[in-house]
Amino acid sequence: MTKLDMSWDLSQMVDGASATEVKKKIEEKTKGFEKLVETYSKKIPDMSAAHIASMIEEFEEAIVETSNYMGYARLRYSADTTDKEARELNYTQNNASSRISSARTKLEIALGKELLKRKELLEAKELADVVHYFERLVRRAPYRLSEQEEALISEKDVSGIETLYQLQEAWVSQKTFEVEIEGKKKTISLPQMSSLRMDPDRSIREMATKKLYESYAHDKLLHSTALRGICADHVAISKRRGMPSAMTQSLLDQDVTEETVMALLDAIEGTASRFQEFLKLKAKFFGFDKLLGHDVIAPWTTEPTWTLEYPQAKEIVVDSFSSFDGEIGKVIQDMFEGKRIDAENRVGKPNTAFCAGWQKAKKSFILMSYSPTLGDLYTLAHENGHAAQGHMIYQTQRPINYRGSSCMAETGSIFGELLLTEKLLAKSEEDDQKLEVLSNVLNDFYYTTYYVATRALFEIELYKNIEQGELIDAELACNEWQAAKDRIFGDVVDWTEYMEWEWARIPHFFFPNYRFYNYSYSFAQMLVFAVYEDYKKGEADFNERFRKLLASGGSKSPAEQIEEFGYNLSDPGFWELGPRTADRLLADLKKLI
């Protein structure tokens, strides 16, 4: 397997255009978008429902065209933050993104105001398939500022919070580490060092964990300043908008209520003993009195039984999806054959994994760093699950409804992990293979449901401190992170030195204008494990209902989508459904111990 085989081909997005040509296209498309908004924004009060429908179609076409070149620039930079040309492209698209955001906000402010005046537009047959988008504009309307203020906010973000985020991301992604493993000294990248935290060898895990987080501690001024600046900016802007809390923006973005989010977090904290019992079982299996911090995400097996090289990983991931649904299997096959997955390990590549939509072609791109570990195999399945969901949305929805709540965006990805689990268990010839798979999927469930919920608890307390006038420095951030972990882990783990710096490794805390993102992962994990129980029952209409769920995008709220599938989000018992799947898998694991 060559590096070329593990890299994507982004040139197909822009028909092989040079960086200079892409910059020109970004400017051209951005100006076109701004002109479109200028043409329509003042005419909206005099437009009929049919005219508004026509305007929305032009708006969608402009968004798709503009996002094509800007998406290329973002992905070029994500693939290699050390590349000067990529940095210049990303700078261009960042500025264009700010302008487009300002223009879009201007149009949506005008639309929101008109919708408040003319409620009958929400009932117009010409606008039936964008009604939920309109409903969200109406909910957001009270928090919109003037056109000039919104433009100023977008402009200051480019050189403010977006620059802080890029600085932190680029600084971290360029790190290298000198390590000695099995008597061999070598230099490795950040993603490779991060992978070693899950090495079967406990001494290697400890070394990797300490070295990794010590590097964050060493750069504490950078990380704490970026965190403080981005969070303080969010609080200030939220207050200026008159939002009730620092979470309001997230609730509007994710299309959920605060009651739903807090019910989820309360349920997680209230059932944390389940997670703690799992960790105690893990310690017992290892023969330890108690787990140390670097054992929490460690594999249960010291000798990995699943060490698939990339070609084999590709084969089994495609097979997992194909066994469930032939059409989806072809979509995943095309991800590999179409060279839209970048899985190579290299310096300058951020320590992250994501799936990005290519709206113009109705396809997706995946970035990750693949090593022959079971964890990375699951990441490959996870991101391809996003691609599968993206395909269903692109084939069903119009562009204005492509983007939905992050609470639902993980549905395809987590379900993909469970399909992979099913395939690996079927292929397992030895109990050790089954044990590695079951322990891995349970590790992921408990990690995503409980450990990731720690991030949401941390953010809530972080913003309380800001509201109370506290300075968010490195010490306070570390203390709040540890306090949040204590609420979930109790006293069942002795934390490894420097692990109070975990917060600095998590990119979600630094995403500009995207606060409280983490609870959506826990939401999705609970949801998909509940959905999987239906799948295992073998109900005849499951595939049809599930494909519809995947394809909903932003056309309905999460509550509406889940109700249509067959659940009631307001039912207190809903959050108990997911853990039942985990309980069943845990029972299977216990049989192997």
- pLDDT score, position 350: 84
The label of the residue with tokens 């349920």 reads 267
* Single pTM value for the model: 0.84
Question: Do residues 382 and 318 lie in contact, with contact meaning Cβ atoms separated by under 8 Å?
Answer: no
Averaged pLDDT for residues 473-482: 97
Question: Do residues 41 and 107 lie in contact, with contact meaning Cβ atoms separated by under 8 Å?
Answer: yes
- pLDDT score, position 302: 80
Residues with Cβ within 8 Å of residue 451, at least 6 apart in sequence: 296, 488
Residue 1 pLDDT greater than 60, yes or no: no
**CB-based burial of residue 591 (10 Å sphere; 0-12 exposed, 13-18 middle, 19+ buried)?**
exposed
pLDDT band at 2 (very low <50, low <70, confident <90, very high): low
Question: Do residues 412 and 550 lie in contact, with contact meaning Cβ atoms separated by under 8 Å?
Answer: yes
Burial 138-177 (b: 16+ CB within 10 A, else e): bebbebbbeeeebbebbeebbeebbbbbbebbbebbebeb
Q: Tens digit of pLDDT for each residue in 307-321?
A: 999 999 999 999 999
Q: Tens digit of pLDDT for each residue in 91-129?
A: 999 999 989 988 998 999 999 999 999 999 999 999 999
Residue 489 pLDDT greater than 90, yes or no: yes
Reference 422, options 331, 328, 320, 322; nearest CA is: 320
Residue 422 pLDDT greater than 60, yes or no: yes
pLDDT band at 4 (very low <50, low <70, confident <90, very high): low
Averaged pLDDT for residues 199-204: 91
- pLDDT score, position 446: 93
| Residues 509, 477: Cα–Cα separation, whole Å | 11
Greater confidence (530 vs 334) lies with 334
Averaged pLDDT for residues 148-167: 90
Averaged pLDDT for residues 263-269: 89
- pLDDT score, position 483: 97
Residue 450 pLDDT greater than 60, yes or no: yes
**In the chain, pLDDT over 90 holds for what percent of residues?**
81
- pLDDT score, position 3: 59
Amino acid at 113: K
Reference 2, options 389, 310, 259, 223; nearest CA is: 310
Q: Tens digit of pLDDT for each residue in 572-587?
A: 788 888 888 898 999 9
| Residues 67, 73: Cα–Cα separation, whole Å | 10
Reference 162, options 518, 513, 516; nearest CA is: 513
Q: Which domains does the chain have, with CATH numbers?
A: 4-155 (1.20.140.70)
| Residues 261, 311: Cα–Cα separation, whole Å | 40
Mean per-residue pLDDT over the chain, rounded: 93
